[in-house]
Amino acid sequence: MADVGELLMSVLSTIRVPKPGDRVHKDECALSFSSPESEGGLYVCMNSFLGLGSQYVDRHHARTGQKAYLHITRTRKAKEDDGNSGSGHPPKKKPTRLAIGIEGGFDVEQEQYEEDVKVVILPDRQEVTSEDLATMPDVVRERVSLSMAGIMAADSVSHTLQVQQWDGEVRQESKHAADLKQLDNGVKIPPSGWRCEVCDLQENIWMNLTDGKVLCGRRYFDGSGGNNHALLHYQETGYPLAVKLGTITPDGADVYSYDEDDMVLDSKLPEHLAHFGIDMMTMEKTERTMTELEIAVNQRVGEWEVIQESGTTLRPLFGPGLTGMKNLGNSCYLNSVMQVLFTIPDFQSKYVSNIDKIIDEAPSDPTQDFKTQVAKLGYGLLSGDYSKPVPDPGEENGAAEPRGDQIGIAPQMFKALVGRGHPEFSTNRQQDAQEFLLHFINMVERNCRSGSNPSEAFRFLVEERIVCQQTQKAKYTQRVDYIVQLPVPMDQATNTEELQEAERRREEGDSSAPTVRAQIPFTACMAALSEPEILTDFWSSAVQAKTTATKTTRFASFPDHLVIQIKKFTFGLDWVPKKLDVSIDVPDTLDLSGLRATGQQPGEELLPEVAPPPLMTPDVEVKAPVLDDSTVSQLCEMGFPLEACRKAVYYTGNTGIDAAMNWTMSHMDDPDFSAPLVLPGCSSGPGTTPTESLSEEHLATIVSMGFSRDQATKALRATSNVLDRAVDWIFSHLDDLESMDVSEGGRSAAESEGGRDPPPGPRVRDGPGKYELFAFISHMGTSTMCGHYVAHIKKDQQWVIFNDQKVCASEKPPKDLGYLYFYRRVAE
């Protein structure tokens, strides 16, 4: 061991002991999805603590000169018998708690491994075990042993990112519980046989703890549940707490606070129940609790069976382009989107075809490099290296049929990087797949300022034509977009009679009434998209006053790949978010040629470019009005941009949340919807941002989209240096930009050789508007903030379902229940 000891002595100064705050990557390679369980194990640099697979450690050594690596290998142990015989372990229990990783919750299986650790010296890969260290000089033994122990004891970065525990049942004490007012009205509630006092429904029955009224609960998104009579009673009386009858036991019950809009604890529940003659200690449970209902939903309900094709035995698929992705805890939205994106040639060529070049040019910490991590993910999905059945140590020689689960890949580094700094995508909560798609496209835009930009595959121009109905003069604007949002006209359902009959039976308390899904023709959705919109509050520059106008939206260009979002998520009359349970006959082929924009028509007059008069208060002295902060806050909590909320309150004259919400919903598509509100009497406003304070990063992003630096500067100045608003502004002011007396590089027209060329516009691809469906993402659940996402992708004329780690041949792709649809242009 003398030679190895001398080698260790020579590199001792490069061997570090991890300190608090050091990022130790001991579970995953920074450049691939190799792990200690992979063939060849994982090599951890004992200086930078970067993890590297066997195929990349030599490259890292050659590039950095680092020689000492900790080699970690893990071998899976055979599982013990889960049955009642043999080992004596009880079978797995069904979840009884809405939680992950805690007693009674959904199980997070922890695999058992045998681990082997040794030091490896490159380039010859000489190995040093703990036993070998014992024979070496003290200075070598102590430093190396401390480094080994520190690396193994440190929490790996991936471990800290994983969901270990989540408890959805933690409830807070209601603020109303301690001093709840209870009426002495003589009401006594029997121990069983409850019915809604309004509709006679016998299920989902709640008792108000103030007056003892027994009423049915809320109606669920699919039409089941109750008829909202308990909620309506609260809205009429303001009595805040209700208990679900049938869930009362000596241990507690389901208590809901309408005022706090959540399930709550009531420490005085026995006293509150006794007021109405209910002895909590003698009650037995006869109804499922709200938690049990949610757990049942998380396991299987209605559309879940159809979308996941759980009624049939699906054939597992393995190989290149058929790699599953592990769910990191509500990461199915990310998994589904990335599976689809890496079937698109632009993303494959940008990140996978030249992965060796990307890795060679990666920075010293590739875990924080966008291009490297996207390439790593793309190669992991397309190579087939990880598309193999999960090995079962209990089966010898692989004799058994392959199971559906794959080894797959866990996109932990990728998720951490793309979510960093984002208030939602940095969490482990469920998210909207459409919002994540746009977030990722925005990151691609920012990181592709030179070279090819794969997000151009989705980018297209929209033309908006507004016609003043009083003068018939028109105004044309263009904006860039990446997704077509398709409205769902519920009044066009083809099975109206069935829907009405099911509704009637539910209202009569018929618990056997079937759940009927609205059948909406796709042609009706397209008609709703293309029909003119009436603008009743349009300021016409031709008549210098407000009048009525029509707005028509058309495609100014057709992208190579078209994304269609079905607008299933909306607000009810009470502004509570809900999901429309609809079936739409989405076609396999699509021809949008009839929606091509035509521009200004022959003989058509344009509205004069005159700015509207400044908004004034009724006072003689011009001063800024005071906005109702509470209404602004309520709108913001619904997810609308702050400036849009301020505008809504201002333009509706502080008349309340309903008027402001109506204004917001009718102006969401305005190009300046989220642009800053400039109040009369205020000196600051758009255009006052000095050039020196503009973000160079924002300028570079806009320039990379095909505009000059001067145009980017003007856009950022007009929108207070907010990138998203600047991009919207620049596409809605193309005519203004064309009149700018500057060209690329900042020279005036007179200084430019040959005069001023037309300023560059957005880089968009264009072609025929004929498409074929190649993928769709479906959502299961009541809102985008919960539930589950699954992707179906057409591979070699065969539909394939990507359900996290499971990849199978699809037997009945539920194309009518999708949320996001992906089309590619048909070559003519």
Characterize the bridge pairing of strands 577-579 and 569-571: antiparallel
- Residue 43 among known ligand-binding residues: no
Can you read off the two tokens belonging to residue 820? 């996001």
Map 328-397 to HEC letters. Answer: CCCCHHHHHHHHHHCCCHHHHHHHCCCHHHHHHCCCCCHHHCHHHHHHHHHHHHHCCCCCCECCCCCCCC
Rounded to 5 degrees, φ, ψ at 788 are: -155, 145
Looking at this protein, which amino acid is placed at residue 704?
Answer: S
Which residue has tokens 């240096």?
721
Distance, CA of 86 to CA of 71 (rounded, Å): 36
Lateral strand order in the sheet of 545-555: 474-481, 460-468, 545-555, 533-540
Contact between 308 and 791 under an 8 Å Cβ cutoff? The reply is: no
Distance, CA of 488 to CA of 524 (rounded, Å): 8
Q: What is the DSSP letter of 122?
A: T
Handedness of CA 98, 103, 104, 108 (dihedral sign): positive
- Residue 682 among known ligand-binding residues: no
H or E element in which residue 822 lies: strand 818-825
H or E element in which residue 273 lies: helix 269-274
Can you read off the two tokens belonging to residue 338? 């990335």
H-assigned helices in 520-577: 522-530
Cβ neighbours for 827, distance < 8 A, ≥ 6 positions apart: none
Q: Residue 548 class from Cβ within 10 Å (0-12 exposed, 13-18 middle, 19+ buried)? A: middle
Q: What is the DSSP string of 517-529?
A: -EEE-HHHHHHHH
Out of 439, 788, 792, 808, which one is annotated catalytic?
788
Out of 29, 45, 332, 645, which one is annotated catalytic?
332
- Residue 239 among known ligand-binding residues: no
- Residue 220 among known ligand-binding residues: yes
Rounded to 5 degrees, φ, ψ at 352 are: -110, -40
Would you call 233 a catalytic residue per the annotation? no
**Buried (b) or exposed (e) across 676-690, using 16+ Cβ within 10 A?**
bbbbeeeeeebeebe
Would you call 89 a catalytic residue per the annotation? no
- Residue 221 among known ligand-binding residues: yes
Give the bridge partners for 484, in sequence order.
Answer: 564
- Residue 645 among known ligand-binding residues: no
Distance, CA of 215 to CA of 816 (rounded, Å): 36
How many CB atoms neighbour CB 524 within 10 A?
A: 19
- Residue 59 among known ligand-binding residues: no
Distance, CA of 224 to CA of 197 (rounded, Å): 18
- Residue 261 among known ligand-binding residues: yes
The binding site for substrate comprises: 206, 218-221, 256, 258, 261
Known binding site for Zn(2+): residues? 196, 199, 216, 229
Catalytic residues: 332, 788
Residue stretches of the annotated binding site? 196, 199, 206, 216, 218-221, 229, 256, 258, 261
